[in-house]
Amino acid sequence: MIRNPILPGFNPDPSICRVGEDYYIATSTFEWYPGVQIHHSRDLVNWTLVRRPLERASQLDMRGEPDSCGIWAPCLSYGDGLFWLVYTDVKRYDGNFKDAHNYIVTSPTIEGEWSEPAYVNSSGFDPSLLHDDDGRKWFVNMQWNHRTQSYGGSPKTPAFDGILLQQWDPATKSLKGPIRNIFAGTELGLVEGPHLFKRNGFYYLTTAEGGTGYDHAVTMARSRDIGGPYELHSNKYLITSKDHPEAALQRAGHGQYVETHDGQFYHTHLCGRPLPPHRRCTLGRETALQKCVWKEDGWLYLENGTSIPDVEVAGLNGAQRIEKPRRSGYTFDEGRLPMDFQWLRTPQPERIFSVTKRPGHLRLFARESIGSWFEQALVARRQEHHSFRAETVVDFEPDTYQQVAGLTHYYNRFKLHAVAVTLHEKLGRCVTIMTCPGDYPNGRLSFPIECGVAVPDGRIQLAMEVRDNDLQFYWQAEGMGSWQAIGPVLDAGVISDEGGRGEHGSFTGAFVGMFAFDTSGRAETADFDWFNYDEL
């Protein structure tokens, strides 16, 4: 059985691609580097992260991009013996503009090196590519209208100005022919996330509507002519939870259709799993997969006969889910960063971390402040469970209060909690807590234990336990005593899409990881020997 979400934690905007009996899903990574996550499966039940293809400056440089910008809604496809990845790099979020630039890269294999990007256009985000059966290739994306009041985290329908279609010429690596606006969406509005596929002489268009929050939906339309006009699905919305607050999978929308090698039908979609009492999705937007059927009217429907997504659906050939270990223990002995970890924005990771400078350790070169949009030494993995414990040990000898290194529960510069080693003029070396519980737009920190707690010489172990909406930090001097709780219970629920600024204000996901900053500019180093993440 498929148990949703199939990709837990921050894995939104799933684009699915089949090549033979291999299935791949590409998801958005926003400001996290390298760009785009690609998972692989042979049974649609068990998925493995295999590649993040946008890994060098010529493909992606996000330094200076605000939170929730960067890579939006990639589309992965296969044609002419190549994998094709279409993606948007969004440079601006607030205000009337998005400055969304669309590119295409290719590779003969998922795991190999991907090409230099071909620039496509900047008219809007969420691009997609159809390889038509006559050899032509069609490029679609939503069009952004800046002449509205659609800004400040409260998008208005008029800014989402329909789905544009134009032919892509791979020989010249450019668009050609007329630009056509083929679909305005429904009254739900905020039409985006287009994907085209062809079946029985019809072009089918799926889009996302209703925004990234609780009104999200997958809309379906079709036409005999790729340029339209498109008629709406008899139900309008193929997948949505917007009218069913009791559904386990909320915020359901933005996905793509796939036909399996043995003639079955599925549709991906993103979703969220809110926690009571505030209905905050602390795991961000996750990826789910629904079993579908075609009916005599030529429309696709969920197999369950409703538009409400299921938590459990049948996989391929009776495949069973392989349960993952409850503990993920990471060392840095192999001289490379474990696959689960990412960093923020910069294509020059050698300036913020090394796994070879001190063998067996992750060395962070403390750079700009936590929350910087340019060069921040923060290496983290996704939160995948509502309740978890994370631990690490840091070897760090600060000589000023401007040098700080430790463990963080991180969403963006406005939503973070951190426990860290630093220096205080009277206490000497100490452990402190910093928190920014959703203070938008100022991003002011508070310090729940004020100056901190003095600690002895040597390595310091740091931990956090998150239980749904509650976070408790811990520390201990390595080899001396036992874990001690430090500070008050903090609001872990604010580390979510809905926290702070609220719905549509941001839409990524929570991370937990190691960080260091040195605002003196001397790039003090902090060494981390190991990192553990345990589901509770």
- Active-site annotation, residues: 375
493 phi and psi angles, rounded to 5 deg: -65, -20
CA distance 459 to 404: 14
How far are the Cα atoms of 64, 338, 374 from residue 344, in angstroms, in the given order? 10, 16, 8
Nearest to 219 by CA among 201, 202, 231: 231
- Using CB atoms within 10 Å of the CB of residue 275, give its burial: 0 to 12 exposed, 13 to 18 middle, 19+ buried: middle
Q: Which residues of 318-339 are buried (b: 16+ CB within 10 A; e: fewer)?
A: ebeeeeeeeebebebeeeebbe
User: How many Cβ atoms sit within 10 Å of the Cβ of residue 85?
Assistant: 29
Close Cβ partners of 269 (under 8 Å, ≥ 6 residues apart) = 14, 218, 239, 252, 253, 254, 255, 287, 288, 289, 290, 309
Longest dimension (CA), the chain: 78
CB 526 within 8 A of CB 396: yes
Q: Which residues contact 243 (CB under 8 A, 6 or more apart)?
A: none
Q: Quick check: 377 and 516 in contact, CB under 8 A?
A: yes
Q: Which residues pair with 24 in a beta bridge?
A: 17, 40
Coil, helix or strand at residue 279: coil
318-321 long-range contacts (CB < 8 A, ≥24 apart) are: 319/1, 319/43, 319/44, 319/45, 319/46, 320/1, 320/45, 321/1, 321/2, 321/3, 321/45, 321/46
- Beta carbons within 10 angstroms of residue 108's beta carbon: 11
CB crowding 54-82: b at 16 or more within 10 Å, else e: bbeeebbbbbebbbbbbbbbbbbbbeeeb
- Which residue matches tokens 């973070």? 416
